[in-house]
Amino acid sequence: MAEQPNNILFRTTGSKLLHPVSDLLGVPLDQVNFLACQLCALLAAFWFRLYLSPNKASTTIRHAVATLLGAYFAIFCFGWYSFHIFTMVSICYCIMLKASIQNLHRYSLIVAMGYLILCQVSRVYIFNYGLLSTDFSGPLMIITQKITTVAFQVHDGLYRKDEELTSERQRLAVKARPTLLEYLSYNLNFLSILAGPCSNYKDYISFIEGRHIAMKLLERNWKPNGYNRLPEPSPTGAIVYKLFITTGSLILFLSFTKAFPIIYIADDKFIKEASFLVRLSYAYIAMQAARPKYYFAWTLADAINNAAGYGFNGIDAKGHFHWDLISNLNIWNIETATSFKMYIDNWNIQTAAWLKRVCYDRAPHSRTALTFFLSAVWHGVYPGYYFTFITAVPITLAARAMRNNFRHHFLSSRTKKVIYDIITWAVTQLSICYTVGPFLLLAVEPTFKFYKSMYFYFHILSILVLLVLPIKPNSVKSQVHTSNNNDNNNKEN
């Protein structure tokens, strides 16, 4: 048994160069490789911005360097499994060139998702429920988002008429099929190949061509802020802040997360001996402890893009520069969320934006259910994912019904609004804890043990709410409009 940890440390298809570091720290080698490549990507991003800026290097050079570095990081981390990444990109570029504009987006979605599912199935049955947690399927998931994003945006730009598109889809529509170098750079660039995030094709191309910052400044109308010419915003402050968050998240992960293993919520002895309130409290703490891992990976990825000069999102009325164009989370809004929707909107933001672009905005009916289903399929074939997203559908609808029917009663005074916010915050935290449990447990048996120990209470409450409370379509539309306005205000603040 003493040799098992070392065997696990060696279990990687990527480079063995850093095995001494893995052995010293007691951390799986694949995770050490991932972190090393992300730190190298951070250094390379600074170099890319300072020495390969658009006024010092051609667009072709910037595309080529970004692509080659990304391919090297993929090979270093995943070895021969990186072949799957390159194969998917190659097949989908052939579709981009050969498919009709009318069906381009459909073929790209089917092929990319199909290839991803095959790889996810192999991961479950070969690697036995995530033995290699940082495996090639993670980058493949990000590239699936990118492939489908550019396919849908090319379809909008070349097939749809402007009057058929919303203003947002008009802005993002791509008017020409990308060249091979542009396509490879967008999908394989070193800034996002390992941990994302996915960004819009036009934004990325504008960044490579040196138009990214100027476009965002003009979009946000910089003149009232006292500038006579376009300013040159520096990402240094944003990078320092995000690296601080990254460091804190890593410390929490190494200490707090490992002290509260999630699998304990499905432990037979714990379920039998602990009271319901103890089980509920531990589940809540364990779910909270699982978050720093995601905070670390996504914030570091965001900092890498900013270090290269990508991610600028304009200037607000107070003259503050924002570098959150492709940020994947808003930690404050997550921890203080007072609704299920608010939590989802601020967690894995770019994936939510992708789901909205390719599914929710285009689905003819059952938008919420179809979007959750696509999200589950994209995440993988672990049964726990489907339990999570299936559970999320009635909870989302019930939360919407509760808001529509009761919220206006608490807006007459500040005291009532504070009470409402406290109650909805507590309910939101419990609902997230309840919903996300299977996502982390992965398998069927522990999921049923967890839900049985919770007496399926949120399933029952959600269904009762949907049966008893009326649904108000007009209120729902008003809520969505108000929520969107609030989200925009939060981003500007």
d(CA 162, CA 148): 20
Question: Is the Cβ–Cβ distance between 383 and 396 less than 8 Å?
Answer: no
Of 296, 276, 311, nearest to 430 by C-alpha is: 276
Question: Is the Cβ–Cβ distance between 168 and 156 less than 8 Å?
Answer: no
d(CA 170, CA 166): 6
Helix (H) or strand (E) holding 167: helix 167-172
- Whether the bond into 446 is cis, omega within 30 of 0: no
d(CA 155, CA 100): 9
Catalytic residues: 348, 379
φ, ψ of residue 11 to 5 degrees: the values are -75, 85
Q: HSE of 313 in the Cβ direction (CA atoms, 13 Å)?
A: 18
Strand partners, 347: 329
Q: What is the DSSP string of 422-468?
A: HHHHHHHHHHHHHHHHHHHH-SHHHHHHHHHHTTTHHHHHHHHHHHH
Read off the tokens for 89: 């990109």
Of 51, 52, 7, nearest to 29 by C-alpha is: 7
Alpha helices in 189-311 (DSSP H): 201-209, 212-219, 236-252, 258-259, 268-273, 276-307
Question: Is the Cβ–Cβ distance between 342 and 333 less than 8 Å?
Answer: yes
Read off the tokens for 303: 């900092």
Q: Is the dihedral of CA 217, 219, 222, 228 positive or negative?
A: positive
Virtual CA dihedral for 35, 60, 54, 241, nearest 10 degrees? -20
Read off the tokens for 464: 């009762």
